[in-house]
Chain A
Amino acid sequence: MSRRVKVDITVPNQTKYLGVIGRIGESMAYSLKGYRGNRRELAYHLNLVLTEALANAICHANNCDPDKDVRVLISASDQDLTIKVFDQGQGFDIDALAQHKAPKGAEGGRGIQIIFKLMDRVRYLQEGDQNVLEMTKYF
């Protein structure tokens, strides 16, 4: 059984880091040994999921407070890839958000739904004094 690859990054709670983290996810898509699907598509999807989850943590959970940090942990094996995004906010009801369908002309409310569409398992948990949005893709 091969070892898991882990990337653990902490960035300031600022949206200018979205692109940096998103591109790390893209790069990982091209290095996954066990993945048999369309890597270009997976790269875009990992970039997107990371961007959505991180923007949610920065802008909503952490209230755009630039003095806070956001931690992202990406972990991959031959069978799966898991992304964890930690926040220091009040938490939210992810199931309610998942079930809420954005009206056709709504400006917002699509981020979490995009994550649910693209990942196989999505959970919002508490780990110590932080919340973590955990998203897994199985190969």
Chain B
Amino acid sequence: MQLKMTEQGDIVSLTVEEERMDAHNSGDLKEQMLQLFDEGKCNLVIDLSAVRFIDSSGLGALVSGFKNASAREGNLKLCCLQPQVHSMFELTRLHRVFEIFANLDEALDSF
């Protein structure tokens, strides 16, 4: 999975540079997030602007990141969801779990 990482203070933003997040590539995001948590970086924003398609594995990777961040007193927030990706969060009711922002600046300001 192609990921772009940017650090602003103690917040790391990870941009998923893939059209699809599925069982083939979601493990990469999970591993990258675990590496960041191991380094003590527990405040993350995941930018999904390029993602057109997400399945249950992709959602599972984000839930894993959210739980790990929370367990370390950090937070994982999402931004820039395309409408059909957003509809997946509603279908699975995960929009009640995550804080979802329209753009990256709003997500960063919310910490």
Contacts and interface: CB of A to CB of B under 8 A. Distances in A.
Interface of A: 15-16, 18-19, 22, 40-41, 44, 47-48, 51-52, 55, 58-59, 104-108, 110-111, 114, 117
A111 B93 contact: no
B32 interface: no
Interface stretch (B40-48, B51-59, B100-108): B51-59
A114 B92 contact: yes
Given A104-B96, A105-B63, A110 B22 contact: no
Contact of A110 (B20, B53, B60, B97): B60
B84 interface: yes
Contacts of A110: 56, 59-60, 92
B67 A107 contact: yes
A58 B55 CA distance: 15
Contact of B24 (A16, A52, A106): A16
B55 A52 contact: yes
23 contacts: A15-B22, A16-B24, A18-B22, A18-B55, A19-B22, A22-B53, A40-B84, A41-B84, A44-B87, A47-B53, A52-B56, A55-B23, A104-B96, A104-B97, A105-B66, A105-B97, A107-B67, A108-B56, A110-B56, A111-B56, A114-B55, A114-B56, A114-B91
Given A18-B24, A55-B23, A111 B55 contact: yes
Contacts of B24: 15-16, 18-19
Q: Please name the 8 residue pairs, one residue from A and one from B, whose CB atoms are nearest each other, closest first.
A: A15-B24, A55-B23, A110-B56, A107-B60, A111-B56, A51-B55, A107-B64, A44-B84
B52 to A, nearest CB: 9
A16 B22 CA distance: 10
B20 to A, nearest CB: 5
Contacts of A22: 20, 22, 53
Contacts of B57: 55, 111
Nearest to A55: B23
Contacts of B88: 48
